Amino acid sequence: EVQLLESGGGLVQPGGSLRLSCAASGFTFSAYAMSWVRQAPGKGLEWVSSISGNGGNTYYADSVKGRFTISRDNSKNTLYLQMNSLRAEDTALYYCAKTSGKDYYFDFWGQGTLVTVSS
Amino acid sequence: DIVMTQSPDSLAVSLGERATINCKSSQSVLYSSNNKNYLAWYQQKPGQPPKLLIYWASTRESGVPDRFSGSGSGTDFTLTISSLQAEDVAVYYCQQYYIIPPLTFGGGTKVEIK
């Protein structure tokens, strides 16, 4: 059974940093690209970042480029999102999502971890 | 960027009736070399993460009831719920995966019971 368990969210001041983690199980983690998708309170879905299975290719939304870094540790079956220079508009529920393979649609989502940026 | 526009924003349908949601992309998501439309549909119930319903515009994910169907090609797509059930109350999103970055979602369509 596929499981994705996000952690690391919390309350942070503007300009601060957080690192999100997503522990994966139930599938061959290294074989699949992974992504982070966020959802601001009461809003729709916004793609944040993706990383290929071997970590060699990374992609970012313009809204986070230069501030967020996606990475993965395939030996630990874990996906990360390092978030720096956080802004109020980064406040959202952050979902870890598994892609179908080499095509970037999401066949499984975690429950999400909430990031709140506020002073 | 490919902009995804969904309509309507919300709709109320009687139980057992048909619900139709539209999704339009700002450019074609049909890849000519494999004749596939890079378009997915998701269902998000309150307090839950999204769930994949449809990919390649019309392929139903395993376990998804056959009352859900996807159609369309190029820039215009439709998600149809043939006979609305109470458990189908949710927000539905389309997503293009033809171009990355960025991956883009539609704004969502909220389906309620009339």
What would the pLDDT profile of A43-98 be if each residue is shown by its tens digit? 999 999 999 999 999 999 999 999 999 999 999 999 999 999 999 999 999 999 99
Do B49 and A60 count as a contact with CB atoms less than 8 A apart? no
pLDDT at A101: 83
List chain A residues with CB under 8 Å of B103.
35, 47, 50, 104
Do A47 and B49 count as a contact with CB atoms less than 8 A apart? no
For chains A and B, CB pairs below 8 A equal: 60
Within 8 A by CB and 6+ apart from A20, the residues are A6, A7, A8, A9, A36, A80, A81, A83, A94, A96, A113, A115
**Across residues A27-36, what is the average pLDDT?**
97
List chain A residues with CB under 8 Å of B95.
45, 105-106
* φ/ψ bin of A107: left (φ > 0), alpha (ψ from -120 to 50), beta (otherwise): alpha
Interface test with B, best of A104, A107, A111, A114 (most B CBs within 10 A): A104
By Cβ distance, the residue of B50, B97, B107 closest to A104 is B97
Neighbours of B100 (CB within 10 A): 18
Bridge-based pairing state of the strands B10-13 and B109-113: parallel
User: Cis peptide leading into B8, omega within 30 of 0?
Assistant: yes
Looking at chain B, which residue has its C-alpha nearest residue A4? B49
**Across residues A103-112, what is the average pLDDT?**
97
- Rounded percentage of chain A residues whose pLDDT exceeds 90: 98
By Cβ distance, the residue of B40, B49, B100 closest to A110 is B49
Pick A102 or A22 by higher pLDDT: A22
First to last CA, chain A: 40
Copy the structure tokens of residue A51.
């990383």
List chain A residues with CB under 8 Å of B49.
95, 109-112
pLDDT at B35: 96
Is residue A102's pLDDT more than 90?
Answer: no
Within 8 A by CB and 6+ apart from B56, the residues are B36, B37, B38, B39, B40
Give the residue among B87, B95, B101 at the shortest CA–CA distance from B19: B87
Do A107 and B52 count as a contact with CB atoms less than 8 A apart? yes
**Across residues A27-54, what is the average pLDDT?**
97
The segments of chain B whose pLDDT lies below 50 read none
pLDDT at A119: 96
- Gyration radius from chain B CA atoms: 13
CA distance A81 to A56: 15
